[in-house]
Amino acid sequence: MRILIQRVKRASVTINGKIKSKIGTGLLILAGIEDADTPEDAKWLAKKASSLRIFDDENGIMNQSVKDIDGSILIISQFTLHASTKKGNRPSYIKAAKHELAIPIYEAFCHDIEQETSKSVSTGEFGANMQVELINDGPVTIWIDSKNKE
């Protein structure tokens, strides 16, 4: 499982011209699930993401987590995080999990983040065509893959 975390001032997701979710200061997390992923991958990434110290403390040092600042979280499913570009110019998504595997793991990830932060998370809609807007703060963008734990 891969996630791309962006520290944001604000973010929103629009589907069919209507805003589905929006947040203020916090994290926008794009989540990609592959066939080899398990609920344990989701749990590990939820703990890592919610504890990641990428928000400034009173001294302007990145030393606080989203939990510490009581920030918001928007989680968007994104199968293209598993694009393979090794051959040709058209990405292959063969490693991206099919809906029947990906949806339960995505939902587990959202639930695990809620458990870690004691807050509800905002989401997009799995499989929908979404327009995501954000103001990246910093910019701070971090990529984490559960297959690279060590």
38: annotated active-site residue: no
The whole-number pLDDT of residue 60 equals 95
The predicted pLDDT at position 39 comes to 96
pLDDT 10s digits, 57-96: 999 999 999 999 999 999 999 999 989 899 889 999 988 9
- Amino acid 123: pLDDT: 98
In the chain, the amino acid numbered 89 is: N
Residue that the structure tokens 């809906």 belong to: 99
pTM: 0.95
DSSP character string of 69-130:
TT-EEEEEE-GGGG-B-SSSSS-B-TTBPPHHHHHHHHHHHHHHHHHHHTS--EE--TTS--
Q: How would residue 149 be classed by pLDDT, with cut points 50, 70 and 90?
A: confident
| 150 pLDDT more than 80 | no
Higher pLDDT, 34 or 148: 34
Backbone angles phi, psi at 24, to 5 degrees: -95, -140
pLDDT at 7: 98
Domains by residue range for the chain, with CATH: 2-148 (3.50.80.10)
Marked catalytic residue, from 14, 25, 38, 80: 80
pLDDT tens track for 100-142: 999 999 999 999 999 999 999 999 999 899 999 999 999 999 9
- C-beta of residue 18 within 8 angstroms of C-beta of residue 35: no
pLDDT at 46: 98
